[in-house]
Amino acid sequence: MPTAVPDSTRRQPLIISGDHQMAARLVDLAVAAGVEPRQVSNGVAAQPHWDTASVVLIGDDVAESLASGLTQRDDIILVTTDDCSIDNAHRLATTVGADQVASLPAATDWVMARMAWAAVGQTTPPVVAVTGARGGSGASTLATAMALRAAHTGQDTLLVDADRYGGGLDIVLGWERHVGLRWPELAAMPTAFDPDKLKDGLPSQGRLTLLSHTRDARPSVSSERLAGVLTAARQTHDLIVLDLPRPGAFPGPMACDVDLLVVIVPAEIRAVAAARHAIAGFAQLADRVCLVTRKPSPGRLSDEQIAHVVSAPVVTSWNTDSKLAGAMEAVRFAGRIKRGELGAVADAVLSAVTTDRREWAAAS
């Protein structure tokens, strides 16, 4: 649970909802997070507090009415209930300019943490999610490379294996015999994880910590459990790298706050078409998306053409490395990253993670 915020530095979250049950629930969560919220029922009442609020939480019951009349700002969360469909939630979030969507009660812990962090102006450690336009794109490889590079620069980094059919990222790192918790053990625990105990219980080496799936058991990891891990990990790490499965693997909306979604796109026509569907499938996760193209391109597609079709910027391209597979089999992956092109690709994506939102919007 987030710690109480000192009165001298406290800023108020703004809750906008005419639904008495939702408003009361959000007020209770704010109080539990140690902050005193300001709650109003409509846009007119919200106007005087809009610019100064630490974070704005908008109920799905009033989102339509707030489509105009309020200025743009960061740190807006659309709060929905379980009966709100993913498509409708995404539409409403776009309408109000929300950064994220939080579905209650699944996102309870995350909403509390977000209000506590925002109250003191604390910047939450970034979460970058990596997925492929199609199978075999190299998402797990790039996610692992990014985590290794970040840890090498001194950042406490957590690599989260969210693809239960991927075989386990501990194999990629050569950590099969490293002692520590995997997903099967966490599946039996409550979703409100203790941050320090979670970090200490996972396999680690140097600045890198890993949460991996296994080969013997494939428990279904709920979006609530994944959100609980990320909420706890953000209190003990500088960066979290999330290796995502294909869209649709999690039941219901994913209550996760992702700063950047990275989609790896092989430079071929079918993969480019599939990339649009991958981005749509994770639309509720992040408002920033970038592409990494895999070369060579059989049809000589350029990065500019791919970016135009997918409607997302290409941050770098990644040429096929014929020696990479062999290095992974021989557990020489870390060394290959230092010497090969993959390290530079990982660095380019990590640089994009820290790009200011306004710079990103202008570049897009």
Alpha-carbon distance of 364 to 362, in angstroms, equals 5
Domain boundary among 70, 100, 119: 119
Q: Given CA atoms 162, 77, 109, 179 in this order, what sign does their dihedral have?
A: positive
Asked whether residue 353 is domain-assigned, the answer is: yes
Asked whether residue 2 is domain-assigned, the answer is: no
Asked whether residue 344 is domain-assigned, the answer is: yes
Please, which residues have CB within 8 angstroms of residue 354's CB and are 6 or more apart in sequence?
Answer: 126
Residues 194 and 340 in one domain: yes
- Alpha carbons within 13 angstroms on the beta-carbon side of residue 326 total 5
- Closest of 58, 74, 78 to residue 18, by C-alpha: 58
Residues 40 and 162 in one domain: no
Amino acid letter for position 91: R
Domain boundary among 96, 119, 142: 119
Q: Which of 65-69, 231-235, 246-250, 289-293 has the highest mean pLDDT?
A: 289-293
Alpha-carbon distance of 137 to 246, in angstroms, equals 11
Can you list the alpha helix ranges (DSSP code H) found in the chain?
Answer: 20-32, 43-46, 86-96, 108-119, 139-152, 169-173, 183-186, 195-201, 223-233, 269-281, 303-310, 324-329, 333-339, 341-353, 357-363
- Closest of 238, 224, 4, 249 to residue 110, by C-alpha: 224
Lowest mean pLDDT among 63-77, 138-152, 161-175: 63-77
Residues 71 and 139 in one domain: no
| Burial class, 185, CB count within 10 angstroms (exposed 0-12 / middle 13-18 / buried 19+) | middle
Task: Tell me how many domains the chain contains.
Answer: 2
Mean pLDDT of 219-241: 84
- Confidence class of residue 217 from pLDDT cuts 50, 70 and 90? low
Can you list the alpha helix ranges (DSSP code H) found in 19-107?
Answer: 20-32, 43-46, 86-96
- Confidence class of residue 188 from pLDDT cuts 50, 70 and 90? confident
Amino acid letter for position 321: D
Domain that holds residue 132: 127-363
User: Per residue in 304-349, pLDDT tens?
Assistant: 999 999 999 999 999 876 555 544 554 555 655 666 788 889 999 9
Alpha-carbon distance of 289 to 327, in angstroms, equals 30
Asked whether residue 248 is domain-assigned, the answer is: yes
Domain boundary among 119, 153, 181: 119
Asked whether residue 3 is domain-assigned, the answer is: no
Alpha-carbon distance of 115 to 86, in angstroms, equals 23
- Per the structure block, which two tokens stand in for 326? 């062999």
Residues 113 and 51 in one domain: yes
